[in-house]
A and B are shown apart, each in its own frame.
Chain A
């Protein structure tokens, strides 16, 4: 019905009007945050220097399940029996080296090692070690590529988060999703190319910041659009009470009519763009609630993601939503789940955090797979840095904490042309340093871009005289994990 109203309202006359002005050709979506496929390959781009994609893409879309606060790799993916053995012993200076410490442990007089309180088992063909905290994740081990040797340059949350998302610790650069929106545009003209979903566990939390999904110096059409729970999933999307779709259509028809008069007088193309943006806004008002509606999901899907998926704003609900958005062509879906900053009380908190995310993370991969979408969707799971092998604060039998650790941390990737069922990289026996195959944050970013058919050295934007890129001035594609 909405469609009829659109067609009726955006009358043939109006379309003729726009096309007579030479601006109807691009259809409704020109200049919007919703990039049409209309011009793909029709020659208009010819002569434009950077040919995009730079090579055949493996993945079309990304879902990034960001674990905000830095999950401890020792309790999740990096199995270290030796560390357990040495619990209570001081970390050898040869291992610690010159690693700078955060202000939180810089004053600590001793650095006793602490092994994981939880057991690990091996799963899948790759015999990957996965902790008992992640039973669902363990079941999909053969779909995962676990990277144990990520490392970063920052040792505090704000700069580390900003670094992994934008390639720079200091901010004001475009986020990964913005780069992809800029490079590849969108597949669905009714939804933004880059969407953001937030949730929070009970563990010690760190804030998230809208600068993390900022467009930086790129056009703001590439900004991440936050979808939230509740009645207004996108800011200002919902009409006020008493405004029916028909009422809205009528008002917009009058707005358009008035704007057309203005266009006739001034001839300013911006007016035509504005007319189209109003039509786009109208379409978003239908399209977004539709995609956000999970009430029609069948029981087996609800069961797969777990009962929390029916509670808006939970990580599970966001995972399900991520699948729907991605399935509908959203280029980059970014989730943040807060609560992974276990400086103290780690055993208790991390168990809860893991329980929050385990089932739904695995369900998302399984669900994409059963829909035949995993091949073209890259799923990423991980935080901004790792945690120390030694304890922060007092070590007791039941309790300990871990400080920030930039030298190694674990993430996993699935689908999108990444080798399934493998573990990449190895840390030393205490899980403090990388023993082989290090993956710098810029390497990781280069690899993500690579899977989408983009050369990280060529995807640039010239701003204030410099060609910027997501990977700043370094980064190598991690060939070893590419299928």
Chain B
């Protein structure tokens, strides 16, 4: 039980801790109940007084304390190490202290002789560790844990994430009927230990909406709902999963997470923030997911497509991945300063996005928590340091500046012959920034304090020893790095991507800190499951669709999302998954849901990004006045109704309604979006012309059908909420419609309807249309509408 690390307030902002979401307020109150119900839960409220485990584990109990409270001064960073003592390595902790050769930080089995224990429990503030000036303190339970761990022999273990995953046998469970696949055994076993039982399966409508949003980012159509409700066969759900995964929208859905990770955008990102044409790379990502390109190939092409033998145009295009970073066009910068920043950006993306470690912390000094030296940072950096690029190639200008060298030019002929998935809509010149190395390798030096003009010792390409040393057999370039990444002994790559996908479907990673599997990251809630899935993923040749299907067909995923007071008390964050995932959907899917349910959605895939409705003056108010993106020239016609993933992202002023719903600003690699719940979101749903226009269009469609009011409202409700309404819901909405019919006069109706560019069918009763439009807007504003539940 102690392997479940639950820190519900761990990374909440100070204010959110005590005055934020009711969920958290609730959990504060309930913390007391939790104490009674589940005394070993590591919640902030109960942690300090929970009883100690019988057997203290270094990895799960001790290392988090050492890492957070001790290693900044007694850890891997040689320059900041105090008293020559390292507490993260047994040999150092066991050996005689430099300052007092008769004493030892740790004497295994004897806390009363261990200086470390004596210092952390000292009443003398001049001796106390951590020293008061550090602003760090250990609570009584932490001190007791360390004491008990020393008493039990002070055994060190390798960090779990740096040991290759192993497939263990499935845990035994009492309820043998519930599991549908392997995932469920791991999940159920933990629940049973806690005295919890899973929820029932979600009703078919809820389940279909959930899985459609998760696999395509779109709500199910009415036809799909009807067919699924009518299909009574035992494999009805599996069939619909297959259908959704075969839809081209699957690639768009899967791409979004990757675009965040790869910080894809449509502008260069600094100062004037000029336009760039990197979108063909985005089209490739969608294409790759739709074709179920396996993860190892998917990443290898992006890291090193240009280095593959006889690289194809497609392989070269894939390397745009490493050129999506911001590139300056600010006249007057020092080129080398920026070139170095680009290399670091790639290196940090590789660390956080692909390896799940905070490599960037070793830029200026040895990592303070994880065993990565500054030298190792620059050894990794060396892989990305030979690109044929300059810090500033051009200042803001015309189409020749829309990509920076090295770049590839894509002609219409290329599209026809080798890149058919690129949605090139004109015959103009199209350039994309891609990778390409110099003929002679650029030498790499450690940069002292991370500063571009302070080179130190020269280093060769290499990887952190603690993760996995770089085998001699691999070439010392990006291709070799890809081989290293997909070497069966690499402990991180499979775990990290499995976790990313898990987070996408279940709302929270098995490792909550998806970008940090290191010492400071959170411990996995289900380590054996993560490892089982990671090994299984590798054994099946990194097949993404197979893995996705396993997740969404599990009984765990298919549970109802209803949360009882009891479950909320025991597990407010649903770490044990005794209920289905229930989350507000991502910004892009909010937009897509509105467009799709109203019938406005333009399903075109790919192509240059578009400029839908946006509040006036946003770009103009913040611009230097230079470049294509200084003025927002909104698109018209079909381009207004493209999916959210195609909205143009100008980095310095990202799309407003999306930002309000926590979309990434694509500044740097992002692997976990925040999920907030704010009044500004309410205002978007109430007043964004996109929502209002969709309401009007759907209302007009319904009114043109020969059905009675109640049926129209039921149809609107089903299209948006994706289930049949309750009688009560119908009566609230019908009552509202009737009231509005009485109160809206023709002049007001005309004003209400004059939103959006989509034409109003001729001959409609405007008052009636306005009343129905308000009903539809009301449905869009239901919490459930933009939630997978």
Q: Does residue A266 face the partner (Cβ distance < 8 Å to B)?
A: yes
CA distance A242 to B770 in the complex (A): 10
Contact with A along B335-354 (1 / 0, CB 8 A): 10000010000000000100
Residues in chain A near residue B328, CB distance under 8 A: 158
CB <8 Å contact, B656 and A22: no
Q: Does residue B265 face the partner (Cβ distance < 8 Å to A)?
A: no
CB <8 Å contact, B665 and A31: no
Listed from nearest, the 9 A-B pairs whose CB atoms lie closest are: A465-B520, A242-B751, A209-B652, A269-B23, A102-B332, A281-B682, A104-B332, A31-B21, A280-B679
CB <8 Å contact, B330 and A238: no
CB <8 Å contact, A206 and B25: no
Contact with A along B672-693 (1 / 0, CB 8 A): 0010111111111011100010
CB <8 Å contact, A251 and B778: yes
Given A182-B13, A262-B784, A267-B563, A31 contacting B22 (CB threshold 8 A)? yes
CB <8 Å contact, A270 and B23: yes
CB <8 Å contact, A267 and B565: yes
B341 to chain A, nearest CB (A): 7
Q: CB < 8 Å: which of B10, B29, B392, B584 contacts A22?
A: B29
Q: CB < 8 Å: which of B676, B686, B787 contacts A221?
A: B676
CB <8 Å contact, B726 and A261: yes
What band does the interface of chain B fall in when counting residues whose beta carbon is under 8 Å from A? 35 or more
CA distance A460 to B561 in the complex (A): 35
Residue on A with the closest CB to B689? A240
CB <8 Å contact, A268 and B729: no
CB <8 Å contact, A271 and B778: no
Q: CB < 8 Å: which of B19, B622, B657 contacts A236?
A: B657
Q: Does residue B473 face the partner (Cβ distance < 8 Å to A)?
A: no
CB <8 Å contact, B623 and A207: yes
CA distance A22 to B22 in the complex (A): 9
B44 to chain A, nearest CB (A): 8
CA distance A198 to B341 in the complex (A): 29
CB <8 Å contact, B668 and A207: no
CA distance A268 to B564 in the complex (A): 9
Given A210-B653, A235-B615, A284 contacting B679 (CB threshold 8 A)? yes
25 examples of A-B residue contacts, CB within 8 angstroms:
A30-B20, A33-B678, A35-B19, A102-B332, A158-B271, A182-B13, A198-B622, A206-B271, A209-B273, A219-B676, A220-B676, A222-B13, A228-B617, A232-B615, A236-B686, A236-B688, A255-B778, A258-B778, A259-B782, A259-B784, A261-B728, A267-B565, A278-B679, A404-B332, A457-B135
Q: CB < 8 Å: which of B13, B332, B680, B783 contacts A156?
A: B332
Contact with B along A195-222 (1 / 0, CB 8 A): 0001000000111111100100011111
Q: A275-B783, A280-B679, A465-B519 are in contact. List 19 more A-B contacts (CB 8 A).
A: A26-B22, A31-B678, A32-B678, A52-B14, A209-B273, A219-B12, A220-B674, A236-B684, A237-B683, A240-B755, A247-B774, A255-B781, A255-B782, A259-B784, A266-B563, A273-B22, A276-B22, A278-B682, A464-B521
CB <8 Å contact, A207 and B652: yes
For window 593-643 of B, CB contacts with A under 8 Å fall at 615-617, 621-625
Residues in chain B near residue A44, CB distance under 8 A: 18, 28
Q: Does residue B436 face the partner (Cβ distance < 8 Å to A)?
A: no
CB <8 Å contact, B783 and A158: no
CB <8 Å contact, A262 and B783: yes
CA distance A270 to B755 in the complex (A): 31
CB <8 Å contact, B683 and A268: no
Residues in chain A near residue B754, CB distance under 8 A: 241
A273 to chain B, nearest CB (A): 5
Residues in chain B near residue A269, CB distance under 8 A: 21-23, 26, 568
Which among A218, A268, A466 has the highest number of chain B CB atoms within 10 Å? A268
Q: Does residue B11 face the partner (Cβ distance < 8 Å to A)?
A: yes
Q: Does residue A115 face the partner (Cβ distance < 8 Å to B)?
A: no
Contact with B along A459-483 (1 / 0, CB 8 A): 0111111100000000000000000
CB <8 Å contact, B677 and A274: yes
Q: Does residue B315 face the partner (Cβ distance < 8 Å to A)?
A: no
Contact with B along A169-181 (1 / 0, CB 8 A): 0111000000001
Q: Does residue A1 face the partner (Cβ distance < 8 Å to B)?
A: no
CA distance A301 to B25 in the complex (A): 44
Q: Does residue A297 face the partner (Cβ distance < 8 Å to B)?
A: no
CB <8 Å contact, A158 and B270: yes
Residues in chain B near residue A267, CB distance under 8 A: 562-565, 568
Q: Does residue A118 face the partner (Cβ distance < 8 Å to B)?
A: no
Residues in chain B near residue A209, CB distance under 8 A: 273, 622, 651-653
B73 to chain A, nearest CB (A): 14
A432 to chain B, nearest CB (A): 19
Given A198-B621, A240-B751, A255-B781, A30 contacting B25 (CB threshold 8 A)? yes
Residues in chain A near residue B300, CB distance under 8 A: none
CB <8 Å contact, A254 and B653: no
Q: Does residue A304 face the partner (Cβ distance < 8 Å to B)?
A: no
- Among B215-223, B288-296, B731-739, the stretch that binds chain A is B731-739
Contact with B along A10-51 (1 / 0, CB 8 A): 000000000000110110001111111011000011001110
Residues in chain B near residue A232, CB distance under 8 A: 615
Q: Does residue A272 face the partner (Cβ distance < 8 Å to B)?
A: yes
A42 to chain B, nearest CB (A): 10
- Among B122-130, B153-161, B510-518, B697-705, the stretch that binds chain A is B510-518
Given A30-B25, A158-B328, A466 contacting B358 (CB threshold 8 A)? yes
Residue on B with the closest CB to A255? B781
Q: Does residue A2 face the partner (Cβ distance < 8 Å to B)?
A: no
Residues in chain A near residue B373, CB distance under 8 A: none
CB <8 Å contact, A237 and B687: yes
CB <8 Å contact, B732 and A221: no
Q: Does residue B84 face the partner (Cβ distance < 8 Å to A)?
A: no
CB <8 Å contact, A48 and B516: no
Given A157-B271, A207-B273, A262 contacting B563 (CB threshold 8 A)? no
Residues in chain A near residue B782, CB distance under 8 A: 255, 258-259, 262
Which among A23, A157, A158, A239 has the highest number of chain B CB atoms within 10 Å? A158
Residues in chain B near residue A236, CB distance under 8 A: 615, 657, 660, 680, 683-684, 686-688
Q: Does residue B79 face the partner (Cβ distance < 8 Å to A)?
A: no
Which among B332, B668, B681, B726 has the highest number of chain A CB atoms within 10 Å? B332
Q: Does residue A277 face the partner (Cβ distance < 8 Å to B)?
A: yes
CB <8 Å contact, B687 and A464: no
Residues in chain A near residue B739, CB distance under 8 A: 250
B344 to chain A, nearest CB (A): 9
Q: Does residue B361 face the partner (Cβ distance < 8 Å to A)?
A: yes
A277 to chain B, nearest CB (A): 5
CB <8 Å contact, A465 and B622: no
Q: CB < 8 Å: which of B334, B520, B752, B783 contacts A274?
A: B783
CA distance A39 to B652 in the complex (A): 36
CB <8 Å contact, A268 and B563: yes
A225 to chain B, nearest CB (A): 7
Q: Does residue A230 face the partner (Cβ distance < 8 Å to B)?
A: yes
Q: Does residue A265 face the partner (Cβ distance < 8 Å to B)?
A: yes
Residue on B with the closest CB to A458? B135
Residue on A with the closest CB to B623? A207
Contact with A along B743-754 (1 / 0, CB 8 A): 110001111101
Residues in chain B near residue A285, CB distance under 8 A: 683
Residue on A with the closest CB to B20? A31
B77 to chain A, nearest CB (A): 12
Q: Does residue B545 face the partner (Cβ distance < 8 Å to A)?
A: no
CB <8 Å contact, B679 and A32: yes
Which among A185, A214, A266 has the highest number of chain B CB atoms within 10 Å? A266
CB <8 Å contact, B624 and A207: yes
Q: Does residue A100 face the partner (Cβ distance < 8 Å to B)?
A: yes
Q: Does residue B582 face the partner (Cβ distance < 8 Å to A)?
A: yes
CB <8 Å contact, A45 and B13: no
Residues in chain B near residue A235, CB distance under 8 A: 615, 656-657, 660, 680, 683-684
Residue on A with the closest CB to B625? A205
Q: Does residue B229 face the partner (Cβ distance < 8 Å to A)?
A: no
Q: Does residue A97 face the partner (Cβ distance < 8 Å to B)?
A: no
A332 to chain B, nearest CB (A): 14
Residues in chain B near residue A404, CB distance under 8 A: 332
Given A39-B19, A236-B657, A270-B584, A461 contacting B13 (CB threshold 8 A)? yes
